[in-house]
Amino acid sequence: MSKFILRDILQEYDEIRREAAQALDLRRQEIAEKVPEVVKIHQDMIDLMAQRSREIILNPNTSSDAIDQLQEQITRLKARQLQLLEKKGYPRDYLEIKYRCSHCQDTGYVGYPVREKCRCLIQRLLEKTYQMSNIQELDRENFSTFDPMVFPEEPLENSKLNQRQYMVQLRDRLIDYVSEFPDNDKRTILFTGKTGLGKTFLLNCMAKAIMDKGYTVIRISAYKLFDQLFYSAISDKSDYESLQSQLFEVDALIIDDLGTETRRNNYTTEDLFNIINERTMLRSHTFLSTNLGLSELKQRYSDRITSRLFDTSNTMLIRFQGNDIRLRQTAK
Ligand SMILES: Nc1ncnc2c1ncn2[C@@H]1O[C@H](COP(=O)(O)OP(=O)(O)OP(=O)(O)O)[C@@H](O)[C@H]1O
Ligand SMILES: [Mg+2]
């Protein structure tokens, strides 16, 4: 399965590079019409660069002063070119190719002579494997779209803050957490609370912010995750192993709605235990949300799982309280 996914993604990357090159061609044509002097300068620069290379390769005795002089001329022309572009209202990088990923320049691979997958390619592979719709969902739900006004000013049990103030404080705490990522003291976060309190929204905020920092993220509901593991376990062992190693290795694993997965005797609990155990040992980051209370979690999962999940030396337990904001939205 993963071989086909990789092939498809590399085709996507080819397409992205082709589009970027076409877009650059169009910008060049536009500049050739509107600021022809820039094109002339560009040609002069290419000539000088060729001359410089020739001197270095063919005439090893050329003085370094002569090479420096050529370089100076090139630099001057470049500055002049940028000046002209800016004068006409164009951005300085208008004639440069725009890569989506500056590390791999949209090839998917980095490093020489040993080529490794770029983080953007690993992330894309995870998105496809786990069918995450990151672009649509995370564009909608992220720290910059977080809206305190969706929460009522409802007083909360055992807190001086009302629901809105509590959520704003929590948002700020998680923004700090992400800015420290991955060097946080506590590497597991467990959100508990009833439905419609903003748990998934905040998990999405964290996913986007962590991906924006260049780390890999799997974000999946427990229901989907354990189904996917189960069906691969019974159909293709190597598929199962590759899913498992991705779940162990990803920088941040986000499991939403723990407790909604189908119970399949030992399968689910073994998988969950392996994931939690391995990631705790590796000191990796795992964020979970659940509608279950702590005692319900204890009832549902073995001590081996809950003792790790509730270990406060590594886990931040965050309780969501208040009124369901979905009901509030429909009541408006
Ligand atoms: N901070 C926020 N700003 C704007 N909209 C929000 C915010 N938090 C939640 N919402 C919206 O409120 C609705 C409910 O939030 P969310 O899905 O995060 O709740 P939940 O706690 O995960 O619920 P459940 O336990 O049922 O999964 C969603 O439509 C979500 O987009
Ligand atoms: Mg949710």
**Cα 203 to ligand 2 centre (Å):** 9
Tell whether ligand 1 has an atom less than 6 A from the beta carbon of residue 147.
yes
Tell whether ligand 1 has an atom less than 6 A from the beta carbon of residue 197.
yes
pLDDT: is 133 or 171 the higher one? 171
Tell whether ligand 1 has an atom less than 6 A from the beta carbon of residue 259.
no
What are residue 224's phi and psi, to 5 degrees?
-70, -40
**Cα 288 to ligand 1 centre (Å):** 15
**Residue 248: per-residue pLDDT:** 97
Work out which ligand 1 atom sits closest to the CA atom of 202.
18
Statement: residue 328 has pLDDT above 80: no
The tokens describing 92, both together, are 């300085």
Statement: residue 134 has pLDDT above 80: yes
Ligand closest to 191 (CA) is 1
Indicate the pLDDT class of residue 330, thresholds 50, 70 and 90. low
Question: Are 325 and 146 a contacting pair, CB within 8 Å?
Answer: no
Out of 7-21, 58-72, 216-230, pick the least confident: 58-72
**For 221-240, what is the mean pLDDT?**
94
Residue 109 to residue 74: CA distance in whole angstroms: 31
**For 136-151, what is the mean pLDDT?**
97
Instruction: Pick the residue whose CA is nearest to atom 31 on ligand 1.
Output: 201
User: What does the DSSP assignment read for 130-185?
Assistant: TT--HHHHHHHSSTTT--GGGS---B-TT-SSBHHHHHHHHHHHHHHHHHHTTS-S
**Residue 332: per-residue pLDDT:** 58
Tell whether ligand 1 has an atom less than 6 A from the beta carbon of residue 151.
no
**291-307 burial code (b ≥16 CB/10 A, e <16):** bbeeeebbebbeeebbe
**250-288 burial code (b ≥16 CB/10 A, e <16):** bbbbbbbbbbebeebeebbbebbbebbebbbeeebbbbb
**Cα 325 to ligand 1 centre (Å):** 7
- Is this prediction's pTM over 0.75? yes
Tell whether ligand 1 has an atom less than 6 A from the beta carbon of residue 200.
yes
Residue 320 to residue 189: CA distance in whole angstroms: 13
For 187, the 3-state DSSP assignment is coil
Angle at 286 between CA 280 and CA 288, to 5 degrees: 125
Mean pLDDT of the chain: 94
**For 184-213, what is the mean pLDDT?**
97
The type of residue at 325 is I
**Residue 163: per-residue pLDDT:** 97
**Cα 151 to ligand 2 centre (Å):** 15
Statement: residue 283 has pLDDT above 70: yes
**For 305-323, what is the mean pLDDT?**
96
The predicted-structure confidence for 39-49, as pLDDT tens digits, reads as follows 999 999 999 99
Statement: residue 126 has pLDDT above 80: yes
Angle at 241 between CA 239 and CA 242, to 5 degrees: 65
Instruction: Pick the residue whose CA is nearest to atom 17 on ligand 1.
Output: 200
User: What does the DSSP assignment read for 115-139?
Assistant: -EE-HHHHHHHHHHHTT--HHHHHH
**For 139-144, what is the mean pLDDT?**
97
Instruction: Pick the residue whose CA is nearest to atom 1 on ligand 1.
Output: 146
Instruction: Pick the residue whose CA is nearest to atom 25 on ligand 1.
Output: 195
Instruction: Pick the residue whose CA is nearest to atom 29 on ligand 1.
Output: 326
Question: Are 271 and 147 a contacting pair, CB within 8 Å?
Answer: no
- Give me the residues paired with residue 191 across strands: 289, 318
**For 145-156, what is the mean pLDDT?**
96
| Cα–Cα distance list, 219 to 13, 18, 130, 247 (Å) | 22, 30, 8, 10
pLDDT: is 4 or 186 the higher one? 186
Statement: residue 129 has pLDDT above 70: yes
Instruction: Pick the residue whose CA is nearest to atom 8 on ligand 1.
Output: 198
**Cα 287 to ligand 2 centre (Å):** 13
| Maximum alpha-carbon separation in the chain | 83
Residue 210 to residue 217: CA distance in whole angstroms: 7
Sheet holding 315-319, edge to edge: 217-221, 252-258, 285-290, 188-192, 315-319
**Cα 159 to ligand 2 centre (Å):** 23
- Give me the residues paired with residue 315 across strands: 188
Q: How many CA atoms lie within 13 A of 121 on its CB side?
A: 25
Tell whether ligand 1 has an atom less than 6 A from the beta carbon of residue 291.
yes
Out of 155-164, 188-197, 261-270, pick the least confident: 261-270
Tell whether ligand 1 has an atom less than 6 A from the beta carbon of residue 174.
no
Local structure of residue 293 (DSSP, 8 states): -
The predicted-structure confidence for 49-106, as pLDDT tens digits, reads as follows 999 998 888 887 777 888 889 999 999 999 999 999 999 999 999 999 999 999 999 9
Indicate the pLDDT class of residue 118, thresholds 50, 70 and 90. very high
**Residue 329: per-residue pLDDT:** 65
Residue 321 to residue 166: CA distance in whole angstroms: 9
Tell whether ligand 1 has an atom less than 6 A from the beta carbon of residue 199.
yes
Statement: residue 331 has pLDDT above 80: no
| Level-2 CATH architecture, domain 130-331 | 3-Layer(aba) Sandwich (3.40)
**Residue 111: per-residue pLDDT:** 95
